[in-house]
Structure 1
């Protein structure tokens, strides 16, 4: 019997923390912790993944926005993908037309329009409550100005051509935090196409920060390898 190549775990960050910092409870020896350039486009990120891991058998772990690059790279046919672990995946393209998704897209689009005319404060006034659940606080504006600039320039998670059928045939585990209707809707849509969906309460958008996350992933891998 021909032996499969060793599994290489690749950890892909979202729009916030990068590299190792995005997966604080993962063992540093578990795999590769990707750190994309802050100004890289989604297509740049997809190309980086393909160029870096062609020829390897990979398990792609991706958080939030990172799921867009992960799914597009997996669907390219140029990677040997053993499975996907998608944590709160921001795959908005697969759920367009749904009320909760369109509301989010509309608010972000309007907010970024304000940033585009150099009204970063107005951008943050709309974006902060949407993403972090807290209203704009004028007393914190000086401290949060740089954060607002980064978010205003970040990639948006829609318009990249992601389709739910792209995961067909790829074992996929989706982990959400049970706190946000948008992510739960995306997860249910993926589950309808064969993904496993598990809710881990207690860390909102970052279930990978929970102690129980590692055992969930290990069990998923165990079922894949038998």
Structure 2
């Protein structure tokens, strides 16, 4: 059984359009905002039988927190572009991202949501925030601004020693590559599937990479 945990964008099965639903459960934590609430929900929604967790971006943070305190007990972990910034603090790319996002979040708290989006949209989506697109962007900007930051959760990379872990990144972003490097040094397997940006789960080799890892790491 595969248990898919989505990130900060699309929820539930809509976040995993290329993944088969017959042998899968799709978490949906989009209705709550704090990391603790999301972790509790992911723990509650987990399947009853043996399962491997496949988690994307923010979903990796939520999954690790759920393993720590909310009864999530996967046989394997597949972390796709994991937003586990805590494990790579001190890295230049990580610190630059946190500094910029902190400035953006401060703007949102002050009521300047467009100012927040001017920083976040280029960083997260590779596009410039414009007044022409603001009507369309405002809802997603508000949703992202309401989420708890994915750092500050005291996550130690040593968690990968308790469960076989594969980290898949897209080779496009220094932050995710830095996180993958630290997790690999702690004992995870790691691979780069380039060409899909942040949505590595849409790569044509994603399914085979996951299945090869699971079949070669029996517990």
Give TM-score scaled by structure 1 length. Answer: 0.91
* Higher Rg: 1
Q: 2:129 is matched with which residue? A: 136
Stretch deviating more after TM superposition (199-208 or 55-64) = 55-64
1:217 counterpart = 2:210: yes
Residues 119-140 of structure 1: CA distance to partner in whole angstroms, max 9, x if unpaired?
1111111111111222222221
For residues 8-47 of structure 1, what are the structure 2 equivalents within 5 Å? Answer: 8-47=1-40
Q: Which secondary structure does the structure 1 equivalent of 2:74 belong to?
A: strand
Q: 2:103 is matched with which residue? A: 110
| Counterpart among 42, 51, 61 of residue 58 in structure 1 | 51
Q: How many residues align?
A: 219
- Does the 8 Å contact 2:117/2:141 carry over to 1? yes
Structure 1 segments (4+ residues) deviating >6 Å: none
1:92 counterpart = 2:85: yes
CA RMSD of aligned residues (A): 1.7
Aligned mates of 2:72, 2:118 — CA distance in 1: 41
Aligned mates of 1:218, 1:32 — CA distance in 2: 16
1:154 counterpart = 2:147: yes
